[in-house]
Chain A
Amino acid sequence: MVSKINNKNDSEIVQPQGSLGLLALGFRGLIAWRKTRLNHKNKQNSHHDLLNTNDEKE
């Protein structure tokens, strides 16, 4: 999952694993990274849940 932080002309690709660039951006980079990481984790979990459910159905 890749999102983009874009505030006050700063742009940095936000990936779940983060980057030094995001840390260098400071709190905005940190928040964007944590948000993306959380979304990614939630998605993974829901995907995992979905797979588990299908397994159960089978």
Chain B
Amino acid sequence: MMKKNKKVLLVGWDAADWKIINPLLDEGRLPALEKLVNGGVIGNLATLDPPLSPMLWTSIATGKKADKHGILGFIEPEPTQGGVRPVNSTSRKCKAIWNILHHHGLKCNVVGWWPTQPAEPINGVMVSNFFQKATISYKKRWDVTDGAVFPNNMTYLLKSLRIHPAELTEAHILPFIPHAEKIDQDKDQRLAVLAKIIAEAATIQSVSTYIMENSSWDFMAVYFDCIDHFGHAFMKYRAPKSDLISDEDFEIYRNVIDGAYIFHDMMLERLIKLAGEDTTVVLVSDHGFYSGHQLPARLPKIPAAPALEHRPFGIICMNGPDFLSDERVYGASLLDITPTILSLYGIPVAHDMDGKVLTTAFNNQLKVNYIDSWENVEGDFGMHPPHLQENTINAAAALQQLVELGYIDDPGEDKNKASEMAVKELKYNLSRVLSSSAKFNEAIELLEELKLTDTDDYRFILDLAKCYLRVSDINMAKENIRFLKSKENINSDYIYILEGVLLARQNKIHSALRVLKKAEERLPLLPGLLNELGQIYLNLFRYKDAQNIFEKILDIDDENASAWHGLSIAFLRQYDYENAADSALNALGLFYHFPQAHYHLGEALFYLKKYKESAEAFEISLIMNPKLIKSAQWLKKIYTIKIKDSKKNSVIDSLLMNYMKGEVIIVSGLPRSGTSMMMQILQAGGIAVLTDNIRMADNSNPKGYYEYEKVKSLVKETAWLAEAKDKAVKVIAHLLRFLPPEYNYKVIFMQRDIYEVVSSQQKMLGRSSETYPLVIAQSFEKELEKVQVWQTKEPNIDLIYVDYSKIVKDPYPVLEQINSFLNHHLDVENAAKVIDGSLYRIKTNS
């Protein structure tokens, strides 16, 4: 049911960042925002890749990623005259929130939003992002770009509310630069840059306040790009002072960024006041902005390089009658804004939107209605007529074809080049969108096409190598890394990192570690590199080292979701479940759509005996990634043993039915720990065993080894396990972790004193019993620790430890335990007959 009496004010502050805001809030310098924060819900807003404003603000306004909404960069080919132009609203290929609200008869005003030129014919006023740009010197005729205002008849009035940078006085400048008099403006253009940014913000504010006061409205969206522009121009001068900045520049420009936020707070106060008390206010930014030591010292010479200064988390603050007060929302993404606002109005959210409704921010249970898609709904949506909507990449290709066919004149070499460059960038951005959505094969297709057109642009090759690694096409990854190495202008450190990852993917873990350590010497604070190192330590079972690495990343950036996730795993494997759960929650608080982090949260909660919450976490991970079959295995375990929910169990069974292949009994342990004896016991007790008798009985094992040759190739080949179904097979401890997940395993793990094990092995190998190989013993002990970890992390494992000396000395109690473990399929009497105490020859106390 649509709620007509709702009013929403959506304010966009491009690049606003809590890291700058929080200290200013603490000092009481942002009173309007402070009020909003205290009475509302706040959180981080995860950005998307690539973090380019036109793409991001369109995602905010549509709830969709750029491959669906079609806005792919700052500029696009001019489809009729050749050359390029700033990206237009006609390139958007889906409906924005204002179109959907318009369809429901709601009055919408939109000011300055990226990209809304030409303004759309909505039920309200739209002022495009071209409106405020002062493109001409003061006192010359400063026209409004055609189509920048809808309805057109408001253009004249709104035109008079624009502010030209040259109108500004020292009263506007000094709050940002108190010592502006020291600047030689003939040499230093930074003051002019500052004035331009302030004037553009003031124009947006002036026009917005006019529209708010002079029209009735249901939805008002106002976008300011200034904090981003201030950031790119002046963040480097903000304290702490960088060594690259002169004392003089630091003194002059150090206050600009803080001033920018204070100015925005003043404007926000006015907007909130005009919106009225019952209006819901949603303040968002599309990404953050690196500051302090995280701000890149230099930017590479590549297109859109300034985006490297964008931090992956923007801000969200929602305040209104429907939202909780003084609370936090976790895991929000900028894709969630449109679904959440639609829900506020009671309008259905579309399944084809990539975002979700931020239900936890609401103060009452929210009923969210859904529709498959708004794109198929006919009717008036206040959009441009279809003939104006353009695919500019296709349009550029068509234009080129017409030129080649001689139908139109060539727009000129420069224009063609500019258009080609624009198409290249749009395609590259699309490849990044696809790759960030795990659509690696589609990304590869685009990147291969780009590589053909420009072999000098290392970005294409670098991304190709990464994508090939993600789809485990090692050869193609290798080929691209080799190609990168042949280039002269590429930072070799990044190639080292890629090589390290490549080696890790090939299971050459120690070589990978060596390469990455080498890269770390040169780039000690690079989070991406440290993250790879942390992953390798996890693979090597070096959990403390992994913990240290992930903590080091978090010292650099405490909002690195991958590092929190890595840390969670490191804690899990050290049996520190409280910290594991906390770390996983931190990861999810930053990036909610993170199935692996939900999975590990589930694991931590399971061991904290919070079974209901654990099941919820596994369910979410499974919904987000249906291929995460281990989540279903955990759920099976929880619903069978802990919660006993037959209904849910049958749902899980149906999920697992096509995947799970049966049960195998595994007899395991260190060599010489009694595994052969256990195989004999099982066989005698009526359990079928899988053995090929290739290894014959000898003095060390007079009753046979009970081995199966194919087990040795478990690392590479697992198909043979089908033969072991419902049978017992011997697998040494070192190979257990290579057991494939599509079977359930009952593991009988033999434990024997490590001295006895090693001494027995020494004897078997004909070595002297005088020397005890301590190093080997320590290595075996480590292996046993790994088995313990493996047992806790695999949901399809049921494991029982059997003490070798106990079963030899007093078989019956132990055999009864094994019988119970094997669901009473063991004939204990017959099993006991094969236990031969005389074979227990090497004893600790002997």
Contact = CB atoms under 8 A, between A and B. Distances in A.
Interface of A: 10, 15, 17-21, 23-30
B538 interface: no
Contacts of B169: 17-18
A20 B267 CA distance: 9
B202 A30 contact: yes
B209 interface: yes
Nearest to B32: A24
A38 to B, nearest CB: 12
A26 B207 CA distance: 7
B205 interface: yes
Contacts of A15: 171
Contacts of B274: 26
A26 B163 contact: no
A10 B274 CA distance: 11
Contact of B266 (A17, A24, A27, A28): A24
B270 interface: yes
Given A18-B169, A30-B202, A23 B207 contact: no
Nearest to A34: B167
A21 B273 CA distance: 15
- In the A-B complex, the 3 residue pairs with the smallest Cβ-Cβ separation, listed nearest first, are A26-B209, A24-B266, A23-B202
A18 B161 contact: no
B266 A20 contact: yes
Nearest to A21: B266
Interface in B386-440: none
Given A24-B270, A30-B202, 8 more contacts: A18-B168, A20-B172, A20-B266, A23-B206, A23-B267, A27-B207, A29-B206, A30-B163
B198 A27 contact: no
Interface of B is mostly: helix
Most chain B beta carbons < 10 A, residue from A19, A25, A30:
A30
B163 A24 contact: no
Interface of B: 161, 163, 168-172, 175, 198, 201-202, 205-210, 213, 263, 266-267, 269-270, 273-274
Contact of B206 (A10, A17, A30): A30
Nearest to A23: B202
Contacts of A20: 171-172, 175, 198, 263, 266
10 contacts: A17-B171, A20-B263, A23-B163, A23-B201, A24-B205, A24-B263, A25-B209, A25-B270, A27-B206, A27-B209
Given A18-B169, A19-B171, A21-B266, A27 B210 contact: yes
A30 B161 contact: yes
Contacts of A29: 206
B172 A26 contact: no
Contacts of A27: 161, 206-207, 209-210, 213
A9 B266 CA distance: 16
Nearest to A15: B171
Nearest to A19: B171
A45 to B, nearest CB: 17
Contacts of B201: 23
Given A30-B161, A30-B202, A30-B206, A24 B267 contact: yes
Contact of A23 (B205, B210, B269): B205
Given A30-B161, A30-B163, A30-B202, A23 B209 contact: no
Nearest to B201: A23
B172 A24 contact: no
A38 B171 CA distance: 17
Contacts of B171: 15, 17-20
A26 B263 contact: no
Given A15-B171, A17-B169, A30-B161, A23 B198 contact: yes
A25 B267 CA distance: 7
Contacts of B205: 23-24, 26
A21 B207 CA distance: 16
B139 to A, nearest CB: 14
Contact of A26 (B168, B175, B208): B208
A40 B75 CA distance: 44
B505 to A, nearest CB: 54
Contacts of A21: 266
B203 to A, nearest CB: 9
A18 to B, nearest CB: 5
B255 to A, nearest CB: 13
Nearest to A8: B273
A18 B208 contact: no
Contacts of B168: 18
A48 B128 CA distance: 43
Given A15-B171, A17-B169, A30-B206, A24 B198 contact: no
A17 B269 CA distance: 22
A50 to B, nearest CB: 25
A15 B205 CA distance: 20
A17 B163 contact: no
A29 B171 CA distance: 14
